[in-house]
Amino acid sequence: MTGHKNLKIYFTASIAAKQNYLDNYHRIVDHIKKRGHAVIADHIFNNNEKQISLKTREERLAFHNKLEKWIFSCDGLVAETSFPSISVGYEISLALRVGKPVLVLYSVGQPPSLLAHHRDEKLLCEKYSNNSLSQSLDDFLNFIQAKSDLRFTFFITPRIAAYLHEIARKNKLPKSVYLRKLIEKDMEENRRA
């Protein structure tokens, strides 16, 4: 990966739902690592609710401070949000507040309701499957690296994402193909004008 900066990605997800989504968590982190990037994820993999509940107030505050430092020092945050979590929502909000790009992934349902109407060009909400996860992660990593090649990555609101998802499903074509056709149609109309 010459010419590319190795990124530091902060990963977060619900610890309470770890037993249900652990395979997904590992798939996400492993994919980012395979691309040559560092991932801060031990706080998710090495803790459980019981361990956290047994911490003293001081230990919890120290842990919270460490999380904040990790977020401040990372190049981007990836959150798996299939299971709602207030602490994950806080981490997403903090990352956005300090200008970090954030990829919110969810495998079931709709995007987190608090983010559904949030307008920030650095926030991307993506519903994923085993087939689409790699592409979503690669697009996000490329966006962070601001790779100037023929790929054009941009963030869209969850409302636009839901519309694109529905159109792609209905027309049985990838979202990128649908967008490309819209641009080509617009180019053709402008050429005639």
pLDDT of 167: 84
pLDDT of 71: 96
Q: Average pLDDT in the 19-40 region?
A: 95
Q: Is the pLDDT of residue 147 over 50?
A: no
pLDDT of 117: 60
Q: Average pLDDT in the 159-172 region?
A: 82
Position 11 confidence tier, pLDDT thresholds 50, 70, 90: very high
Q: Average pLDDT in the 67-81 region?
A: 95
C-beta separation of 85 from 112 below 8 A:
no
Beta-ladder partners of 11 = 78
Q: Is the pLDDT of residue 1 over 60?
A: no
Q: Is the pLDDT of residue 138 over 90?
A: yes
Backbone phi, psi, residue 72, to 5°: -60, -35
- Across the chain, mean pLDDT equals 84
Beta-ladder partners of 104 = 79, 125
**Residues 6 or more apart from 41 whose CB is under 8 A from it?**
11, 25, 29
Position 152 confidence tier, pLDDT thresholds 50, 70, 90: low
Cα first-last separation, the chain? 44
Count other Cβ atoms within 10 Å, centred on residue 170. 9
Q: Under the phi-then-psi rule, with left for phi > 0, alpha for psi from -120 to 50, and beta for the rest, what region is 85?
A: beta
Q: Is the pLDDT of residue 111 over 80?
A: no
What CATH topology corresponds to 8-155?
Rossmann fold (3.40.50)
Q: Average pLDDT in the 158-179 region?
A: 79
pLDDT of 149: 42
Q: Average pLDDT in the 46-73 region?
A: 86
Q: Is the pLDDT of residue 120 over 50?
A: yes
Residue carrying the six token digits 């299971």? 83
Burial 122-156 (b: 16+ CB within 10 A, else e): bbbbbbbeeeebeebbebbbbbbbeeeeeeeeebb
Q: What is the pTM of this model?
A: 0.72
CA distance 71 to 60: 17
Q: Average pLDDT in the 71-84 region?
A: 94
Backbone phi, psi, residue 167, to 5°: -60, -45
Classified as helix, coil or strand, 187 is helix
Angle at alpha carbon of residue 49, lines to 73 and 23, rounded to 5°: 70
